[in-house]
Structure 1
């Protein structure tokens, strides 16, 4: 891919190896303490705290900076550039593919740069700082029957900055799309110190930016060259599925998509710029909700029925399988709540939203009436108690916790935990995926956002022995080939990070 910079311009941007020199780190710490008002934490304890995230990785950072202001961020980036230190902006630390840990200076926005700057209920937009927790925003938006559509299960502590870096999704992205589709503008800072506000770009605006020259003009011209040179490959190779999260959002640079630089930056995992502020889209939050749970003989049959269910336009369509439920029983999670599920060994949790409860219930009953006509109709239960509904949702949100470190069972790990295919292909894909489990001697509960074709799982990888790691590598080769065969995405939610990025050429080819 054509570089946006000439060779002479990027020499300073190359960081040291993973063994960042201790003397250089000390000098960087000293300069940062002189220049910024925020906290500079290069002590061993702080570095240890930020050495892990929600993934399999442990990498000790050079140091941690907790900025109090945008000026602190700008100064920190400048000092990192001067000392050739890698930089990593971190949200709530919930990343599952290793995006939140690295040998870098970690920027943590959560303590100070966490404000809701503005909420416009008429225009249905909000301006936020990157450290704001999703639920803080949603609480304020709900006062106006609005919400930010993407809602990962970590919504009570993940941040908007992290969601932008990761292109996060969640249960209700069925009704609102990925984070990418809900970002209007970004205020960003590049590693070489350029601050700019980006979004969709009209042709006349693009011409003005390029004609003005400077670093911004150079970047925009370079991005346009990418779109022009690789446009046909981008159109052909990027899967047209709801949960294509892997790779950069290059389709957003195409002319038919408005040359939207903000959306193109969503999901870049802090490899291109640091987000200082975001203007985001809010959507209507239906005040009336109804939940119907469908019980199937197995998770494959549940997957087969998803296309039929989506015709009724639910606001959520989630899945859990029998192994996940068994794990919950072993761990004593929600023992009484599990009795709320209808009979089955694979379940779909289908939520409808309306102007009021009756409206939502009517939508749910229309689905149930249609499914009853099928020979293989599932067991069905429509809940009329909001408290019971919340308990059922708690079961689904406990998915990751239920499958991690089950007593008496082999340890399970991330690594292939969020692949995605088109919803029409869930059943066949799951059957072949489980054949791979058997081939490699693995086991893993299946759950996830079936309404958008995203499959969650934790697998019994052996990551502690040489033979186990070799088997893991062989499985990843097979699994990535399988999802590409189905026209899917390596990642449907958690991003590529360190665990999947090496396999991106399978999806996009060597040039892209």
Structure 2
């Protein structure tokens, strides 16, 4: 690994203004929401696409690994690494534009999900996926781990809501991934060859269930799926390319939401009832059992738990509509 001070100087020479190698900054970025701790060599706050490209160029020459980081809400050590950590949330955090007619938004990776929601709200629109960390998680981070949230049933995963991306590869390629105007690239040609040589495996082993999120979703590259490289990159945790801009789909915010709470004798019974409930096309369906509720009552008192239907397990079902 290159010496820390030499790395800082190399990054500065490349034109990157905000580089931190002090102990406090490196310690702050050594952990995320997981139990892991890996101290990085440097923390870089890129101000734009060109600075990201410059950082990747330095790291490629010096043999330094790169970790793209959003808000650090990952629970499996996804946002920590021993090399350079790229934090997009300080400067690359803009909602660049919203097209209410096309129902799309162009965003930088560091924009917080809740900020995008506020920008889209005046048009009666919203970004569909909404993780519990929506007040702090970034769209770039959601792209990294293909975030879902409780309303996946209604709006799908992040991969279902990304239409185009601008990315930088480890080799330094600047790719604009848009199914309407695909970029010509040697890397993409090689990728197509990989998929073509393994069509049977990709068709039978990938995309087999709805909440298949992190990893390399090669099913999106099948000919019948339009060789959608943007959707492949969603969930790859920045290991295939670094996103510097994304065009995302927006959905209409419903006029009315109703939450229905259903009680069951146990969690197994709640699970058995779920397929029938899904026929009514809810936007969300979440289950908990009495063990969670009992802990809350014990620690916070009965007043902390709203009245629930009789039973030892519950399904919380959200339905929406225009009336």
TM-score norm. by structure 1 comes to 0.61
- Which residue of 106, 110, 115 corresponds with 2:85? 106
The structure with the greater share of residues assigned to strand is 2
**Aligned ranges 1:6-45 → 2 under 5 Å:** 20-21=1-2, 23=3, 25-45=4-24
**Aligned ranges 1:145-160 → 2 under 5 Å:** 145-160=124-139
Residue 335 of structure 1: CA displacement? Answer: 4.7
SS at match of 1:307: helix
Q: Which residue of 2 aligns with 1:352?
A: 319
- Which residue of 228, 244, 247 corresponds with 1:276? 244
Q: Is the 8 A contact 1:234 1:251 kept in 2?
A: yes
Q: Which residue of 1 aligns with 2:308?
A: 341
- Which residue of 140, 144, 147 corresponds with 1:165? 144
1:134 aligns with 2:125: no
**Aligned ranges 1:383-402 → 2 under 5 Å:** none
Q: Distance in 1 between matches of 2:130 and 2:263?
A: 24
Q: Distance in 2 between matches of 1:37 and 1:86?
A: 17
SS at match of 1:38: coil
Q: Is the 8 A contact 1:201 1:258 kept in 2?
A: no
Q: CA RMSD in A?
A: 1.6
Q: Which residue of 1 aligns with 2:226?
A: 258
Q: Distance in 2 between matches of 1:108 and 1:248?
A: 23
Q: Distance in 2 between matches of 1:246 and 1:277?
A: 20
Q: Which residue of 1 aligns with 2:271?
A: 303
Once the two structures are superposed, what CA deviation does each residue of 1:198-217 show, in whole Å capped at 9, x if it has no partner? Answer: 13378xx68xx3xxxxxx2x
**Aligned ranges 1:310-459 → 2 under 5 Å:** 310-332=278-300, 335-355=302-322, 359=323
Q: Which residue of 1 aligns with 2:167?
A: 188
1:242 aligns with 2:186: no
**Any gaps of 5 or more consecutive residues in structure 2?**
none
Cα 1:246/1:113, change in 2 over 3 Å: closer
Q: Distance in 2 between matches of 1:259 and 1:52?
A: 35
Residue 37 of structure 1: CA displacement? Answer: 4.5
Q: Distance in 2 between matches of 1:200 and 1:227?
A: 17
Q: Is the 8 A contact 1:129 1:161 kept in 2?
A: yes
SS at match of 1:98: coil
* Corresponding residue pairs, total: 323
**Any gaps of 5 or more consecutive residues in structure 1?**
1-19, 210-215, 360-512
Q: Distance in 2 between matches of 1:122 and 1:164?
A: 24
Larger radius of gyration: 1
Q: Distance in 2 between matches of 1:249 and 1:38?
A: 35
SS at match of 2:213: coil
- Which residue of 18, 26, 29 corresponds with 1:50? 29
Q: Distance in 2 between matches of 1:276 and 1:246?
A: 19
**Aligned ranges 1:198-237 → 2 under 5 Å:** 198-200=177-179, 209=184, 216=185, 218-237=186-205
SS at match of 2:11: helix
Q: Is the 8 A contact 1:145 1:287 kept in 2?
A: no
Q: Distance in 2 between matches of 1:335 and 1:83?
A: 58
Q: Which residue of 1 aligns with 2:48?
A: 69
Q: Distance in 2 between matches of 1:331 and 1:84?
A: 50
Residue 336 of structure 1: CA displacement? Answer: 2.1
Q: Distance in 1 between matches of 2:317 and 2:262?
A: 8
Residue 257 of structure 1: CA displacement? Answer: 0.2
Q: Which residue of 1 aligns with 2:62?
A: 83
The structure with the greater share of residues assigned to helix is 1
Q: Is the 8 A contact 2:146 2:214 kept in 1?
A: no
Residue 246 of structure 1: CA displacement? Answer: 4.1
Q: Distance in 1 between matches of 2:60 and 2:134?
A: 33
